[in-house]
Amino acid sequence: MTTRKTNGALLASPLLLLLLLVFVAPVLLMVPLSLHPYEPGTGISSGWTLANYTSIVTDEYYREVVVRTLVLGFGVTLICLLMDYPLACYIANAGPKIRLALTMLVIFPMLLNLVVRSFGWIALLANRGLVNNLLIDMGLIERPIKMMFNLFGLLVGMSHIFLPFMVLMLVPAIQAVSKDVQAAAYTLAASRLRVFWSVTLPMSAPGILSGSILVFVLTISALVTPRMLGGPTYKVMATLIYDDFLQTLDWPAGAAMSFTLTLLTLVVIGLSSRMLRRWGGHA
Amino acid sequence: MNLENRKMPLLAAAAIAVVVFLQVPVLVVMLAAFSKTAYLTIPPRGLTFHWFDVVLRDPEYLSAAWTSVWLAGASTAAALVLGLIAAYAIHRRMLPGATALTSLFMAPLILPSVVLGVALLQYYTLTGLRGSPFGLWIAHVVITVPYVVRASLSSLAAVDESLEDAARVLGADGLTSFRLVTLPLVKPGLVAGGLFAFITSLDNVPVSVFLLSASQTTLPVKIFTSVEQGVDPSVAAVSTLLIVATGIALLLAERWTGFHKHV
C-alpha cells in the first residue's frame, strides 16, 4: 500500500511541482504587487495601498471599461445563443453524413488561429474593408460607416469567434432531450411550437446554461480580438491590463484589474455550477 | 429524424446561414492574399502570388514560424508525458486529494490567459527568466497540460482496469502492463488531447506576448503586433498559409482519430 502511494506521488509530483512554480506562485506574487502605489515618473513604491482596487469602482474611466466588458459578455452570449440554437437543433436532428459535415464546418473556424480570424474581421469591417466597399459600390452610403473600434465591431467579431463553442455545448444537450417525451407531447396534440417551448427548450436548459457561461467567461477574458478590432482606444478589461503592463508600466493597477477580472470569472462559474447542480445537470 | 428537419425549411435556412457566416472571414482572408494592390481589396484587383513570395522570403516570418512550431511541439510533448502520468495516478486512486489535484491541473483553463501572462511577466522579471526560450516553454506546458489531463482522464475512465490486472497476473510488471495494455487503449483520446494542446500553443498570444524577447517572436504574436502598425496583404498571405495548414491538419486528424468525437 505504501509503495502504491509512493508511486502515485512520483507520477503526479512533476506536474504538481510545475504548476506550483509556474502557475500558483506567479499569481500569488501578483497580490502584493496590486497593493503597492504607483507614481508616474518614479514607478512602483514600497508603501501599501488599496487605491488600485478602490479606483476600479470610483474612477469613472475604469468603471466604464468594466461595464463595457460585461455588456460585451452578455451581448456576445445572447447573439451566440440566438444564432446557434437553430443550428444546434438542425445538427442534432440531421442524418449522420450531414451532421458530420456541419460539425466539421463548425470546428474548422474554431481551430483556426485566433489572430487570423480577427484579421478576417478587420478586412471586412475596416473603413476600406469589404462591407464598406460593397455598400458604397451599391450606392447605399456615401462615405464609410465606422464599424471597428466600437461596440458593434467587437460584438460581431467576438460572436463569430465563440459561436462554435456554443454549438458544441448545445448539440449534445438537444440530443439528450428524450424523443419519447417529445412524441408523447405530439400524441397529446401539442403543436410543434408548443413542443419546442414546453419540452425541448426547458429540457435543454442545462446545455444552454453551460454554453452561455463558457461564452461569457471567454468573452470577458479575451485579449486578442478586442485589441485587434478595438484598437488602443476602445478598451475592455483585458486590453487595459495589457496596456498597464506593456505601455504605461503601471503594473499595480494592472495587477488589481487582473484580480478583478479573475474574481468575475470565478463568481460566474461558481454561480452557474450551483444552478446546474440544482437542476441535476452536469457542467 | 431527418424527416423533422425536412419539414422545417426555415430551420434549415437559419442553420445554413450560420454555417456560412462562420466561413466568411476565412474566405475573405484567402481572397485578400491574392490582391495586386498594396492594401486589401475584395474581390482582389488582379491575381498575384507576390505576397506569398514576400512572406516566404521574409526571415522574420520564417523564424517566427519556426519558433511557433518548436514551441508547440516541445510543449505538447512535455504536456503529454506529465499530464498522462499524473492523470494515471489520479485515476487509479494512488493519491489522496484527487479532486483537489484535478482542479489544480485544470485551473489554467479557467484563469484568464492574460492574467497568467502578466503574472508570469512579473515572475520571470524577478527570477531572470524573462525572454528566455526555457521560460516560454514551461509557460506553454502549463497552458496546454489541462487538455492532456482532461483527455487522459476521460480515456482512462473507459478502460477496463481488470485488463491491466490480468496482465500483472500473467507476470508483467506495472510499467509493462501499462505500456502494452492501457496505453494502446487510451491512444486515440491522447492523440486528440495532444492535438488540442498543440493548437492551443500554436494559437497563443495572451501569454506569449508578455514573455517574448525583442529578438524572438512567434507567428501569431508577429501577426498580432504587425496589424497594429497597419495591414497589408502579406498578413493575408501568411494567414492563408495557416488556414490551409489547419484545414489539412483537421482532415488528417478526423481520418486518424475521428477527431470531432473528442471535441
* pLDDT category of residue A59 using cuts at 50, 70 and 90: very high
CB of A255 within 8 A of CB of A34?
Answer: yes
C-alpha grid cell for residue B31?
481572397
* Neighbouring residues of B114: CB distance < 8 A, sequence distance ≥ 6: A221, A223, A238, A241, A242, A258, A261, B206
Closest partner residue to A15 (CB to CB) among B1, B28, B145 is B145
Say what the alpha-carbon torsion angle A275, A276, A278, A282 is, to the nearest 10 degrees. Answer: -170
Closest partner residue to A241 (CB to CB) among B118, B239, B263 is B118
Average of per-residue pLDDT values in chain A: 91
* pLDDT category of residue A2 using cuts at 50, 70 and 90: low
Rounded CA gap, B85 and B90, in Å? 9
* Neighbouring residues of B164: CB distance < 8 A, sequence distance ≥ 6: B177, B178, B181, B182
Q: What is the 3-state secondary structure (H, E, C) of A197-250?
A: HHHHHHHCHHHHHHHHHHHHHHHHHCCHHHHHHHCCCCCCHHHHHHHHHHCCCC
Domain count, chain B: 1
How close, in Å, is residue A4 to chain B by CA atoms?
6
**Rounded mean pLDDT, A4-8:** 82
Closest partner residue to B4 (CB to CB) among A9, A25, A93 is A93
**SS3 of B229, please?**
coil
CA atoms within 13 A on the CB side of B260: 20
With 80 as the cut, is the pLDDT of residue A279 above it? no
Whether residue B194 lies inside any domain: the answer is yes
Q: Which residues in chain A have Cβ-Cβ distances shorter than 8 Å to B115?
A: 27, 221, 241, 258-259, 261-262
Whether residue B7 lies inside any domain: the answer is no
Contact B113 A245 (CB under 8 A): no
pLDDT on residue B250: 84
Q: Which residues in chain A have Cβ-Cβ distances shorter than 8 Å to B104?
A: 16, 19, 24
Structural element, H or E, at residue B79: helix B59-91
pLDDT in tens, chain B (263 residues): 444 566 678 889 999 999 999 999 999 888 888 877 766 666 667 788 888 998 899 898 999 999 999 999 999 999 999 999 999 999 988 888 888 999 999 999 999 999 999 999 999 999 999 989 999 999 999 999 999 999 999 999 988 888 888 888 888 887 888 888 888 889 888 988 998 899 999 999 999 999 998 788 999 999 998 887 777 788 889 999 988 888 888 888 888 777 777 76
Contact B138 A168 (CB under 8 A): no
Largest Cα separation within chain A, whole Å, is: 80
With 70 as the cut, is the pLDDT of residue A282 above it? no
Which has the closest alpha carbon to A110: B67, B59, B195? B195
Whether residue B34 lies inside any domain: the answer is no
Residue whose C-alpha cell reads 500554436 in the numeric block:
B202
The number of C-beta contacts closer than 8 angstroms across A and B is: 266
Whether residue B19 lies inside any domain: the answer is no
How close, in Å, is residue B51 to chain A by CA atoms?
16
Whether residue B160 lies inside any domain: the answer is yes
Output the DSSP codes for B141-190: HHHHHHHHHHHHHHHHHTS-HHHHHHHHHTT--HHHHIIIIIHHHHHHHH
Contact A15 B247 (CB under 8 A): no
Contact B142 A238 (CB under 8 A): no
Distances (CA, A) of B68 to B52, B65, B199: 19, 5, 10
Q: Say what the pTM is.
A: 0.91
Whether residue B217 lies inside any domain: the answer is yes
Which has the closest alpha carbon to B180: B193, B164, B159, B156? B164
pLDDT on residue A283: 39
**Rounded mean pLDDT, A180-201:** 83
Q: Which residues in chain B have Cβ-Cβ distances shorter than 8 Å to A18?
A: 82, 138, 141-142, 145
pLDDT on residue B7: 66
Which has the closest alpha carbon to A7: B93, B131, B117? B93
Contact A108 B263 (CB under 8 A): no
Contact B116 A26 (CB under 8 A): yes
Whether residue B45 lies inside any domain: the answer is no
Contact A119 B88 (CB under 8 A): no
Chain B CA closest to residue A214:
B110
Task: Assign residue B63 the CATH number of its domain.
Answer: 1.10.3720.10
Chain A CA closest to residue B27:
A120
pLDDT on residue B81: 96
Contact B94 A11 (CB under 8 A): yes
Contact B2 A4 (CB under 8 A): no
CB of B26 within 8 A of CB of B243?
Answer: yes
Closest partner residue to B115 (CB to CB) among A7, A100, A261 is A261
Can you list the domains of chain A with their CATH numbers? 54-282 (1.10.3720.10)
Q: Which of B115, B143, B200, B255 to mutate to test the interface with A (most CBs of A within 10 A)?
A: B115
What pLDDT digit, counting tens, does each position of A87-107 carry? Answer: 999 999 888 999 999 999 999
pLDDT on residue B126: 94
Q: Which residues in chain A have Cβ-Cβ distances shorter than 8 Å to B113?
A: 221, 223
Closest partner residue to A19 (CB to CB) among B142, B210, B227 is B142
pLDDT on residue B254: 83
Q: Which residues in chain B have Cβ-Cβ distances shorter than 8 Å to A217?
A: 110
Q: Tell me the range of A40-49, A67-76, B227-236 where mean pLDDT is highest.
A: A67-76
The residue type of B229 is: Q
Chain A CA closest to residue B225:
A228
**Rounded mean pLDDT, A133-155:** 90
What pLDDT digit, counting tens, does each position of A208-257 carry? Answer: 999 999 999 999 999 999 999 998 899 999 999 999 999 999 999 999 99
Give the Cβ contact number of residue B47 at 10 Å.
10
Boundaries of domain holding B203: 58-262
How close, in Å, is residue B191 to chain A by CA atoms?
15
Strands (E) located in chain B: none
C-alpha grid cell for residue A190?
401539442
Output the DSSP codes for chain A: -HHHHHHHHHHHHHHHHHHIIIIIHHHHHHHHHHTS-EETTTEE-S---SHHHHHHHH-HHHHHHHHHHHHHHHHHHHHHHHHHHHHHHHHHHS-HHHHHHHHHHHHHHHHS-HHHHHHHHHHHHSTTSHHHHHHHHTTS-SS----SSSHHHHHHHHHHHHHHHHHHHHHHHHHHS-HHHHHHHHHTT--HHHHIIIIIHHHTHHHHHHHHHHHHHHHHH--HHHHHHHTTTS--HHHHHHHHHHTS--HHHHHHHHHHHHHHHHHHHHHHHHHHHHHT---
Contact A87 B107 (CB under 8 A): no
C-alpha grid cell for residue B262?
473528442
CB of B33 within 8 A of CB of B233?
Answer: yes
Whether residue B116 lies inside any domain: the answer is yes
